Chain A
Amino acid sequence: MKPAEVDYVRAETVEHALALLAETGVDSKVLAGGQSLMPLLAMRLAGPERLIDIGRVPGLDRLEIVGDRLVIGALVRHHRVATDPLVARAAPLLAAAAPHVAHPAIRNRGTFGGSLSHADPASEFPACALALGADIVLVSAAGRRTVPAETFFEGLYQTALGPDELLLEVSIPVATPDARFAFVEFARRSGDYALAGLAAAARADGDRLADLRLAFFGIGDVPVLAAEAAAILASGPHAETAIAAAVATLDAIEVRDSAAAGAAYRRHLARVALRRAARALARPEAAACR
């Protein structure tokens, strides 16, 4: 359970990291907090030739509001997402989801950008990014581009990140005063990988919900938006009949079998998550629920 032989370079700046990533002929992997990558190296599930450590690159840990967007730098750690008042105000869904990410010592090291680039199907932040309509900013020696969360997650541990690209930061619309959210996760034990979970974001519009986005995680290869269920829930005032109809649409969503839990059980958990989230979203104080 030790990493194989590997080269290691500490990037001093973003430009330095990009120059290293632009070198062809060497299989490089970006190392940030390392809380997902190190286990993969130890178990020899990943075997890059070179690690490019961006852990001390200045500027990558910015966390600030720019206009009407919350900008989260790649190196912002989960502990900060969980505890910074700025996140609680501007993206309360993220603050509610953060305590579900692994355990305290992991949250002290793990990074927001790392979580999105690793794209574990059971992880919380990719689904939150999808629910919140996040833009993901990628940069390479050739320039920068912005990829919406909808198209960033391409498959199991697969993202739109090219081999020469670095995830620079994530930009999220700042929560408005009428914003509502719900976060539900099922795991066998606290801190374990999610068996199923749901990140939901909306705006209150009178007694209705507007801009409702329901992002499930842990059930497929990538986080998935349940658009049909969201349309039903947003079509009228809160009603148990609407919730039942929305839950029924989940039958059409593909759910993956895994060693941890069968597809039927995961689908059941997804239904329960949607019921809980829908009821929570109907309350003005809508917040996280387990």
Chain B
Amino acid sequence: MPMIPITCTINGETVEATVSTRDTLADLLRDTLGLTATHVGCEHGVCGACTILFDGRTARACLVLAAQADGAEIETLEGATASGRIAALQKAFHDHAALQCGFCTPGMLLAAAEFLEDHPAPSRAEIREALSGNLCRCTGYQAIVDAVAAVAKGTEP
């Protein structure tokens, strides 16, 4: 099996690994590094559960090869939690019961965080649009939109 050495930064730490050329970044994060907040749902870019940050922007870890991460800066939900970047969103998800099984939650949080950084005062319709690539099969989305709106400034609750 072809293998390739890579060096990247993951949650602020330099990581050196030798990865299989067919492994996705999600495989590397979960199976090799034990960063299991990155959930793997559909493995073809539809569900959004594996959302991470790649060079500062959200990306789907199932649609990036681990080999492509060479030289990249990766942040996972673990890193975003440790830095406090998404603390307000996490509290709002808790307060609004914006999760049930929790499988989609890591992706929802990272997608919502980037969206609110780009759009500090969105409408509810804009929040729904921004999260349209993250599938939740439990909540019906209402509570998730409530939670994101609660963190956004000026959005009608």
Q: Is A108 an interface residue (CB 8 A)?
A: yes
CB-defined contacts of A39 to chain B, threshold 8 Å = 44-45, 63
B2 near A102 with CB under 8 A, answer no
Interface size classification for chain A: 20 to 34
Of the residues A5, A55, A102, A108, contact of B22 by C-beta under 8 Å: A5
- Dominant secondary structure of chain B at its interface with chain A: mixed
- The proximity string for B residues 46-82 relative to A, scoring 1 for CB distances below 8 Å and 0 otherwise, is 0010010010011110111101101100000000000
Interface-located stretch among B94-102, B128-136, B142-150: B128-136
Chain B nearest Cβ from A46, distance in angstroms: 12
A109 near B54 with CB under 8 A, answer yes
Which residues of A are in contact with B by a Cβ distance under 8 Å?
1-8, 10, 31, 34-35, 38-39, 42-43, 51, 53, 55-56, 79, 102-106, 108-109, 189-191
A55 near B133 with CB under 8 A, answer no
Of the residues A31, A103, A108, A109, contact of B48 by C-beta under 8 Å: A103
A34 near B64 with CB under 8 A, answer yes
Which chain A residue has the least Cβ–Cβ distance from B67? A8
Of the residues A6, A7, A34, A53, contact of B63 by C-beta under 8 Å: A34
Which chain A residue has the least Cβ–Cβ distance from B50? A105
A105 near B48 with CB under 8 A, answer yes
A6 near B45 with CB under 8 A, answer no
Chain A nearest Cβ from B114, distance in angstroms: 7
A204 to B114 alpha-carbon distance, docked (Å)? 39
B43 near A1 with CB under 8 A, answer yes
Which chain B residue has the least Cβ–Cβ distance from A5? B22
A109 to B129 alpha-carbon distance, docked (Å)? 18
B133 near A102 with CB under 8 A, answer yes
B44 near A103 with CB under 8 A, answer no
B133 near A5 with CB under 8 A, answer no
CB-defined contacts of B22 to chain A, threshold 8 Å = 2-6
For window 4-27 of B, CB contacts with A under 8 Å fall at 4, 21-22, 24, 27
Known: A8-B67, A190-B132, A191-B133. A1 touches B54 (CB 8 A): no
Which chain B residue has the least Cβ–Cβ distance from A1? B43
Q: Is B93 an interface residue (CB 8 A)?
A: no
A197 to B111 alpha-carbon distance, docked (Å)? 27
CB-defined contacts of A7 to chain B, threshold 8 Å = 2, 21
Report which residue of A2, A102, A104 has the largest number of chain B beta carbons within 10 angstroms of its beta carbon.
A104
Chain B nearest Cβ from A8, distance in angstroms: 4
CB-defined contacts of B67 to chain A, threshold 8 Å = 8, 10, 53
